[in-house]
Structure formats: structure tokens, C-alpha cells
Structure 1
């Protein structure tokens, strides 16, 4: 398989999940070129030509070089953004735009490359309303959901479907007294909703009376289902209170997972479900670049090996 060239890994410096996968690939003798978009242009350079045979050229880091016409696969994780601190504000905006559409455009156009996942497809899938609509079309159970900036509509929805939770449509980090924070999922009542709802768009969803959560990680054609036990509304707020067990998917779930991934043209997805009192799985979301490796030592599931198989293109 060495003639397929290296695996490109695009992520930031602090990414333990990627570290595990790269170690596995190194153990198999698969070449890896890791870089972060934030390294450009200081320690990352590119020279690419558009030819009748596709993109050709090289991508270089201080220790590695990749032939862009022979990239085996690209693992797109969590790169940091482009930064040009030596430039003034206006010139920085120009430089960032050129880097995004230049370097980003080349990386999105590699001939014969397997993307896990393609950055454009990740972008498509990150729109939560699109994901919920695709989940319905794929056959999942989806809780009643309202996306609105209208206070009256929000209050009516809460009264009709309560208990209801509020979820951010995206979760950019912000800081309070120097501490990184994010907006939590939380239950809301109608009398808590005032005219400030009109300030932006919000997502409200009926709260499922759950017995557990399930994280389903799909890596290529392998499906790993892990039941997460806790008494938390959002299990991600306190990992120390979680318990884990491997469970089989109910009938129809595997087919719906594949339909969802096919819709967005993804080969990896980290799906979150909650399980109600009748044992039904309700779709909450799918993160197309989500975390998963922390569950392997808790369950013994061979997830790192599965990701390495996919990136190596072992079945190709």
C-alpha cells in the first residue's frame, strides 16, 4: 500500500485523539504528514499546479514533504485558524482570505484522496437544522424542534411540548474572567423567555424522558455503540460521573446511520442519541469531526485501529 503515499493529518497541536491514530499508523509503517493551518506560512508551505491530471505539487513542513498527487488519505480534525500577527488588520483580512481559498482549495481537491471527512462536507453537516432534517429523512426519531427568533413562537412551543430544552445552534468558546466557557444545554420554561429571544436565532427541543445516552461512532463501515449512563441532562458537563457499556444498535439504526452519512457524503460520524423509557433511540446530533478515542479504554472497542484501517485504506 506504500505506493498510495502518505496520510495527511490536519489538526492543531493539542489533539490526543489524533496522536493515538498517528502512533497506530506509524506502527504499521504508514507515512504521515501532520500539520496545522495555523502553521501557514511560518512553517508550512505549498506549491501546487492545476494540470489535466489534477492537482500536482508539494506541501512541506520543517520535517516532512508530501507529493500532492499521491496522497493516500486526509484526516481533517480540528485545525486552528490562519493567523498573520505581523500584518495590519486590513492586510490580515486579505491574507487570511487568500490562504483559506488557496491552501484550503488545494487540500479540498487532491486526486484519488480519501477524506475523513472532506472539509466542505464537514461544513455542510455543521448546520444543526440541516442535520435534524437529514435525520428525519434518514429514518431516525427526532424530538419536536423549533428554530426561532420570535418570542411568542418560543413560548407557545414550550407550553405545547414542555419540558423543553434550549441548545445553542453552534458553540463558539468565549471567556469569562479569563476562563474558557461555552453555552450549556439547559431546560427552559415559558416564563423565562422574554423579548431578548428576538435578538438572534435559538433552538428549542422537547426534552426526552431518558434512561441513558448513546454515542454511536461510525468509522467507515464499522459501527461502535456505547451506552453512557449518568443522571446529567448533558453528559459532556462531567465525565467523572459517566459509566460506559457496549450495546447493539436497535433494528433500523444501522441503515439510518448510513443514510445520514450518505446524505452529507461523510465516512465518519459521532452520533448522539438519548434512550427513552420504552427503549427507543432519539437522534440528537451528529458531529462530523467529533471526539471518540476516550471511549476505547473504557470499553475495549478497537476504535483507533478502525480509524487507522480507514486512513490506511486497508480494504482498498
Structure 2
């Protein structure tokens, strides 16, 4: 019997990774309903009733309609935020809050749906201190790390763990002359720490003397590891200088990644490791919404097929 339940894909209009996954699903005859939650209420509507059997209702876009009780899986990518530009600021704040907790709450409560990943679990996993604590608990090697707003404590940590680096706790974008920028990972010395550190929380970490990096993409129970070689502290700052090699993880690493995802209730994760001079893999972070398709183009790994398998619920 043909499974007619749709896959919901929630993302913004400009998302090439979602595009290739949707193309793959269409090629398999799997129905897809794509929308951006930020389109509500102009071109997206939801009606949902709470019943003794759970949420029932429909989600409607200009071209599709989905029965909320018959969603096969939901691929939560990168939706834009709710906006109400026609309202004054106070009314807009009210409307945004109602949309977030109303539409967002319905989307997060679909019965029998596989979430890749669940938006609430994504939120939990995006807290770096939580991720590092779980990483230690599941057995990863994690560099000495400090989160603080105390300048003296920061200086003493950096002095003890030379060389040290600074990392933003959340990589928010800002603009300079109209160009989107983000705070980069960079080496830091004690003399660079001033009283401005007291203004907010900061993350400092011992820099691992590395010979390479690894992006490990976990899709369901499939693990794909790619070594990334460059002369960069943070390889994400210049993709043109990178070379890629498919590698196998050391013993225990794949199992630890699956345990890590299970702790957060995730089924997908993009893990970053650096490889120390002794060959040890050091955990840096796991992005529950990380990019992955460019690695397929560079290496030929069947990442898109694996993601489609997961969303189709073949895994």
C-alpha cells in the first residue's frame, strides 16, 4: 500500500539543502509540504483542535494542505521569524508571541511524527555549556573550557591553558557596511582581557595543537566522517582553502555520537572535532541544524539519500 502521508519541510525560501532533499523525496514519490513559519498569517494558516486523541486539524499553504494527524515526518531546517510589519511595535510583540506559542506549539505536537529535529530539542542542544557537559559525560575528549564574566578568572585560565582561544557562545550575525559578519574563533592572551569582559558571558578554551579537523554528520544511525585539512584555526572562515577526505572514526566515537544525540532527543547532528597531534579526536561542538550537503558534493558521500531515507522513515 502506498504511504500518502506527507513530509513537512519548514524552512525559508533560500535553502539549497532543503531543495535537494525535497527533490530526492519527490523522485521517490513521497509527498512533501514545504512552508516557512514566517509566512503566517499571510500565506500560511493552521487550525488545530485539542481532542482526547491529541491534536487534530489542518495546515494550509497556497498550494498544499496537510492533515496534522497524518504527517509522516517533519524536517525542521531554518525558518524565518514571525513578523507583523503592519502593526505598531507593541501590537507586533503581542502577535509574534501568540504566533510563536500557538503555531509553534502545534507544529511541535504532531502525533506520530518523526522530527528531524524537534524544534524544542534543537533549542536545548544549542546551549554550548550543555553540549560540552553531555560530551564529557558520553566519553568525548573535551579541551579545558571556562565560561565566565570575571576578567581575573579569564586571565588566570588563559595563562594556565596557553594557548587559549575565545569562542562566541552563540554565533549571531551582525553587519558592517551592509555585509553580514559573525564573531570568529580566535586565539586570546591574558593581556587582551579587560574589564569589558564583565559585561556578559564568554567562553574560553584551551587550543588543541591539531593536525586536522573532522565534520561528522549523523543521520539516524548512519555516521559519515570527513576529515578537513587546512592551515586555519577555524576552517569555516575560508572554504576555498579546504581539502576533504572520507575517514572512519576511532573506536568508540560513533557510539558516543549516537549517545550524545539520544541525550538531547535528536536524530541528526553535525559534529565538529579537531584531531590532536597524537591522533585523538577532540570534541568541539554539535550543531543540531548544521549544514551537510556541501560535503556530498566534495566527497560523493550519500548524505542526501540518507536524509531522505530518514524522512521517508525507511531507517
Same fold (TM over 0.5): yes
Contiguous gaps of at least 5 residues in structure 1: none
| 1:44 alignment counterpart | 44
On the 8 A contact 2:9/2:75 being kept in 1, the answer is yes
Q: TM-score, normalised by structure 2?
A: 0.99
Question: Runs of 4+ in structure 1 displaced over 3 angstroms?
Answer: 1-4
Please give the alpha-carbon distance, in whole angstroms, between the structure 1 residues aligned to 2:206 and 2:265: 29
Q: Relative to structure 1, is the Cα distance of residues 31 and 209 closer, same or farther in structure 2, using a 3 angstrom cutoff?
A: same
Paired with 1:72 and 1:272, the residues of 2 have a C-alpha distance of 30
Mapped pair 1:99 → 2:99: yes
Does 2:99 align with 1:90? no
Secondary structure at 1:246 match in 2: strand
> Deviation at 1:54?
1.1
On the 8 A contact 2:212/2:276 being kept in 1, the answer is yes
The reply to whether residue 155 of structure 1 matches residue 131 of structure 2 is: no
- The answer (yes or no) to whether the contact 1:10–1:35 under 8 Å persists in 2 is yes
- For the aligned residues, what is the CA RMSD? 0.8
Task: Work out whether 1:61 is the aligned partner of 2:61.
Answer: yes
* C-alpha displacement of 1:299: 0.7
Tell me the equivalent position of 1:80. 80
The corresponding residue for 2:138 is 138
Shift of 1:53: 1.3
Q: Kindly provide the CA deviation profile for residues 152-173 of structure 1, in whole angstroms up to 9, marking residues without a partner as x.
A: 0000000000100000000111
Residues 273, 285 of structure 2: 8 Å contact kept: yes
Offset at residue 2 of structure 1 (A): 4.1
Counterpart position of 1:167: 167
SS for the counterpart of 2:290 is coil
Distance (whole Å) between structure 1 residues aligned to residue 273 and residue 211 of structure 2: 11
Match runs of 1:1-316 below 5 Å: 2-3=2-3, 5-315=5-315
Q: Could you tell me how far apart the structure 1 residues matched to 2:297 and 2:102 are?
A: 40
- Give 5+ residue unaligned stretches, structure 2: none
Contact 1:4 1:71 in 2 (8 A): no
Task: Give the number of aligned pairs.
Answer: 315
Rounded to whole Å, the distance in 1 between the matches of 2:29 and 2:136 is 42
Question: SS of 2:134's equivalent?
Answer: helix
Native 8 Å contact 1:219 1:307 kept in 2:
yes
